[in-house]
Amino acid sequence: MRVVLASNNAKKLTELRSLFAALPVELVSQKELGITEAEEPHVTFVENALAKARHAARAFGGAAIADDSGLCVDALGGAPGVASAHFAPVEPQAAEREVQRALQDAANNRLLLDRLRAFQAASERRASFVSTLVALRHADDPEPLIAFGRWSGEILFAPRGSGGFGYDPLMFIAAFGRSVAELDAEAKNAISHRALAAREMAALMRAQWLR
């Protein structure tokens, strides 16, 4: 079964391909198919994921899956939330998408640390990575599959580690004594918010689509 991933994020595609490896599903990115990105005007992860999945499914003419994920910080009332990817205002500076994404990530991390400057205790810096996955058999599917994942930790005072992407260098996981950016891919894919959502989604797909 061929399913289009409604994302142009190469690292997210690699991560999800690994997480869905046991399923008889070929995950192809919308970028490979020339599908444009969807608008994400909503204030919740599930609404944005559904909008992205519908857009990709309609352009593809078949099944699609979308992930909307981000960082929710308790002290900031859940921010940056759905605005996680573009938390800090950054002007385009690089033609290469991944280079521009790295610049955006760095700016986002700086802004987050600035917003949390007044919060010094670990208990005041609690945060969660949240992932919502939505899968559709076609654009007008009345029964979308929806899966959720949450991965909690606390925000460090400075970045640590060079792996992952986004806010990974700032999210400290006490059980490992490391930031997410210091975890290897195998460990991250076993316990991350996206891994939790992907496992739930894989079970739903087996039960509903692949039976």
The residue extents of the domains of the chain are 2-204
* Whole-angstrom distance, CA of residue 131 vs CA of residue 161: 22
Going across the sheet that includes 2-5, the strands are 26-29, 2-5, 64-73, 126-136, 145-155, 171-173, 178-179
Contact 124, 142 (CB under 8 A): no
**CA distance linking residue 143 with residue 134, whole number of Å:** 10
- Name the strand (E) or helix (H) holding 126: strand 126-136
**Distance (Å, whole) CA 80 – CA 85:** 8
pLDDT in tens, the chain (211 residues): 899 999 887 777 887 888 888 889 999 999 888 998 898 899 999 999 999 999 999 999 999 999 999 999 999 999 999 999 999 998 877 668 778 888 999 999 999 999 999 999 989 999 999 999 999 999 999 999 999 999 999 999 999 998 888 999 999 999 999 999 999 888 887 889 988 999 999 999 999 998 7
Residues marked as catalytic? 68
The pTM (predicted TM-score) of the whole model is 0.87
Residue 184 CA to chain centroid, in angstroms? 17
**CATH number belonging to the domain at 2-204, selected among 1.10.3720.10, 1.10.620.20, 3.90.950.10, 1.10.10.10:** 3.90.950.10
